[in-house]
Structure 1
Amino acid sequence: MLGSLTLAASLAALPSFIIASPNSFPSPSDGFSCAKAIGQVSCHATSPVNPDSYGTCCYNGALAPGNKESGLVLSTQFYNLTTGPPDSFTIHGLWPDYCDGTYPQFCSAQSGIPEKSGEQIEALIQEYDPSLLAYMRTYYENEPSFWEHEYNKHGTCFSTLRAKCQLDLSPYINQTSAAVVGYFQQIVHEFKQLPSYDWLAQAGITPDSTKTYKLIDIQNALAKKHGGVPYVGCYNGVLSEIWYFFNVRGPLIHGQYLPVESTTNSSCPADVSY
């Protein structure tokens, strides 16, 4: 049997660790429904994706007929010196929102994606991607109970994270476990693409308790790099979080993330402490 490090390297080398390939579908019709869905952009589909079809393995759609489509994906970050490095934001999560800006949560009963404990999540990542776990311990609060909250509240609401949608790599990893590892891999991947601290510093915006910055300048600096104005959140007038919004072409894992404007107004005052 392959060792964990060998397996992690093998999985990383695959063009898509998580998303099911047409060859893994049980029938030609399932492969066709995926092929039809995978090229569409969430919230902008030109051909409806049936929630009961395998198309929802390849497109972040509704979990059930009559439900809203979870087509907005948010990559979210904290700035908190007590939980992370002083020269970086830290990870909050990767969330599904409906296209109208409202959101689902704790969807296990509806999606069929089982909830996981923090200990289970930590053990899976340790086994299959230990370098990911090391990174999370620095930039993701190093708190398995928080990872548990994020997966159970948000990860269970993505149609493309269902077990049937994952590449079957048994006996090395089962499909349910692959979804868990893949979700956190994608969270970290998106975080690395969005270096908020560096982007702000390049615009002359750095932490300084003796001054404030204009909210519009913070928004413009981030939008210039991201491609859309993100949500900028404050706590008691102090910059505390940033949410980047995307539509996605294809599945959550390895999909093409397309920046869009925030659907949520900033909670910050016009002059922001940082």
Structure 2
Amino acid sequence: MQEICNSWEIDFFRKWKLSMIIKLLVVLCLAEEAFSKTKKHDHQSRSGFDFFYFVQQWPGAYCDAKGRSCCFPGNGKPSTDFSIHGLWPNYNDGGYPSNCDSSKPFDESQLDELESRLETEWPSLACPSIGPKFWAHEWNKHGTCSFFSNQQDYFQAGLDLKDKTNLLQALKDEEIEPNDEFYNVEDMKEAIKKKIGFYPWIECNHDSDDNSQLYQVYICVDTNGKDLIKCPVLPRGNCASRVQFPKF
């Protein structure tokens, strides 16, 4: 009988010990999840950031993308050049802040001096045509998280960066032309690096024939919105080794 009792006590102790370990693991997992959520919230709410992505898109690829329609702005078809998509604050860990300051809502009147250039160099090609709503989105989501105190300075910084990088000319200098031909992605990156001093990140899309196309070019910029830098982190995704540079 004593042996049975001893065996029962040992078995009970083992089960109790296992139960406590499981409970401890559950507590630790819940604590880690709570910490992760708090960290994420703090990360998104703080006003500081580490660098900008300056993103330019090729309109020929946007308009030729599989399953996407394309509408020109009110002033007509944009010129055959890269257009600005955005100037986006980012963190070194791959996250980014957004919609940081509701006390500074978009005010189109602040862009009176820039509007003609924005229509040409920072247009929306979405359908239906959304005009200034696109700039409102960029300012409210991204601009309010930057160190620019007003909209004019923020959008002017984007226009200045477009002039500074001049992507189309950088590619043409290396005989990479928007002619529907296919080019090596690494050659594209080298051509841009030769012009700006740093490697870009290239995003691709697919046309109705499932051809991989040059779509967007990401360049990293210091928090001052002026100086180009080496990218601390790159977006996700990859292109095919050779991609089409579609006409526009």
For the criterion TM > 0.5, the same-fold answer is yes
Select the residue among 56, 69, 81 that pairs with 1:88.
Answer: 81
Select the residue among 126, 148, 151 that pairs with 2:139.
Answer: 151
State the partner residue of 1:31.
none
Name structure 1 gaps, 5 residues minimum: 1-62, 163-178
Distance between the aligned counterparts of 1:79 and 1:258, measured in 2? 20
State the partner residue of 2:67.
none
CA apart distance, 1:216: 0.7
CA apart distance, 1:192: 1.1
Moved more, 91-100 or 136-145: 136-145
Residues 82-116 of structure 1: per-residue CA shift (max 9 Å, x gap): 5564531011111100122321112225xxx5222
Task: Please give the TM-score of this superposition, normalised by the length of structure 2.
Answer: 0.64
1:190 lines up with 2:161 in the alignment: yes
1:125 lines up with 2:107 in the alignment: no
Select the residue among 111, 118, 121 that pairs with 1:139.
Answer: 121
The count of residues paired between Structure 1 and Structure 2 equals 178
Distance between the aligned counterparts of 2:236 and 2:199, measured in 1? 10
**Structure 1 residues 146 and 68: alpha-carbon distance in aligned structure 2, compared to 1, 3 A threshold:** closer
Q: Secondary structure at the match of 1:213?
A: strand
* Residues 47 and 100 in structure 2, CA contact (< 8 A), matched pair in contact too: no
Q: Secondary structure at the match of 1:200?
A: helix
1:208 lines up with 2:179 in the alignment: yes
RMSD between superposed Cα atoms in Å: 2.5
Give, as a single letter, the amino acid of the residue that structure 1 aligns with 2:100. Answer: C
Which structure 2 residues correspond to residues 235-274 of structure 1 after superposition, within 5 A?
A: 235-236=205-206, 237-248=212-223, 251-252=224-225, 256-261=226-231, 263-265=234-236, 267-274=238-245
CA apart distance, 1:258: 3.5
Which structure 2 residues correspond to residues 160-239 of structure 1 after superposition, within 5 A?
A: 160-162=147-149, 179-209=150-180, 211-236=181-206, 237-239=212-214
Distance between the aligned counterparts of 1:69 and 1:135, measured in 2? 29
CA apart distance, 1:229: 1.1
Distance between the aligned counterparts of 2:236 and 2:192, measured in 1? 15
Q: Secondary structure at the match of 1:106?
A: coil
Distance between the aligned counterparts of 2:111 and 2:47, measured in 1? 31
Give, as a single letter, the amino acid of the residue that structure 2 aligns with 1:106. Answer: N
* Residues 88 and 195 in structure 1, CA contact (< 8 A), matched pair in contact too: no
Q: Secondary structure at the match of 1:223?
A: helix
CA apart distance, 1:188: 0.8
1:75 lines up with 2:54 in the alignment: yes
Distance between the aligned counterparts of 1:102 and 1:194, measured in 2? 25
Larger radius of gyration: 2
**Structure 1 residues 93 and 124: alpha-carbon distance in aligned structure 2, compared to 1, 3 A threshold:** same
**Structure 1 residues 114 and 238: alpha-carbon distance in aligned structure 2, compared to 1, 3 A threshold:** same
* Residues 247 and 260 in structure 1, CA contact (< 8 A), matched pair in contact too: no
State the partner residue of 1:7.
none
Sequence identity of aligned pairs in percent?
Answer: 26
Residues 133-190 of structure 1: per-residue CA shift (max 9 Å, x gap): 21111111162011011001100112x234xxxxxxxxxxxxxxxx111111111111
State the partner residue of 1:114.
104
Task: Please give the TM-score of this superposition, normalised by the length of structure 1.
Answer: 0.59
Distance between the aligned counterparts of 1:246 and 1:102, measured in 2? 16
Distance between the aligned counterparts of 1:80 and 1:67, measured in 2? 34
CA apart distance, 1:205: 0.5
* Residues 232 and 266 in structure 1, CA contact (< 8 A), matched pair in contact too: no
